[in-house]
Structure 1
Amino acid sequence: MIDPGEAAGLLLVAIVDMSPADPARGRQYEDAVLALLPRHGGTLERRLHSTDAHSEVHLIRFESRAGYDAFMTDPDRLALRASFAEAAPTTRVIEVAAPHP
């Protein structure tokens, strides 16, 4: 576990699997949700798409754990999740440590 007091903040890898029924709609959801990151001190450092367009990998940094917690409970993010319903992707988030130079 990364110490929340680290200057580098919180570094996360999100593995996103689109709904098989509508992967394009899942990407629309991700576009909208990722746009909310800056309001919580979050930055999308990298977004990679699988060759079959059914999965993505995101490298996301937050200034603090509190920012990540606020992002997760953001009413706009929750409303998007509800409005996309079954088309919203499933996501697995892994906290990682940045390599030291």
Structure 2
Amino acid sequence: MLTLVAIVEFPTGAESDGQRYEDDVLALLGRHGGELERRLRSTAGRSEVHVIRFADRAGYESFLVDPQRAALRTALGEAAPTTRVIEVHEV
């Protein structure tokens, strides 16, 4: 099991586009053995935190190169969010 925390920042003025992009991308997790456990949005709407689990690292790696995910990101262009991913474990 692989657990990740993703910290997503939306560009100013592109919050709605970024949130829709995240909706679409997170919907792809299941095809790679991933599951969204929690999705939290800042009160200002400019960032999100996602807790995501994958059955294994191979699933995460296949998610990263999913052609549909890449196409969604390309279509968003400059409005694409920036994401920092941290691998975590229970303590």
Q: Same fold (TM over 0.5)?
A: yes
Moved over 2 A (4+): none
TM-score computed with the length of structure 2 as normaliser: 0.98
Residue in 1 aligned with 2:40? 48
Query: 1:28 maps to what in 2?
Result: 20
Letter in 1 for 2:78: E
Q: CA deviation digits over 1:11-33, x for unaligned, max 9?
A: 00000001112100000000000
Tell me how far apart the structure 2 counterparts of residues 34 and 63 of structure 1 sit (CA, whole Å): 15
Q: Answer whether contact 1:25 1:87 (CA < 8 A) is retained.
A: yes
Distance 2:82 2:13 in 1: 13
| Residues 1-101 of structure 1 mapped to structure 2, 5 A cutoff | 9-99=1-91
State the alpha-carbon separation in 2 of the partners of residues 77 and 58 from structure 1. 16
Structure 2, unmatched stretches of 5+, are none
Q: Alignment partner of 1:13: what SS?
A: strand
Q: Number of paired residues?
A: 91
Identical-pair percentage: 60
Structure 2 Cα separation of the partners of residues 48 and 62 of structure 1: 18
Bigger helix fraction? 2
Question: Which of the pair has more CA radius of gyration?
Answer: 1
Taking structure 1 as the reference length, what is the TM-score of the superposition?
0.88
For 1:19 and 1:30, how far apart are their aligned partners in 2? Answer: 13
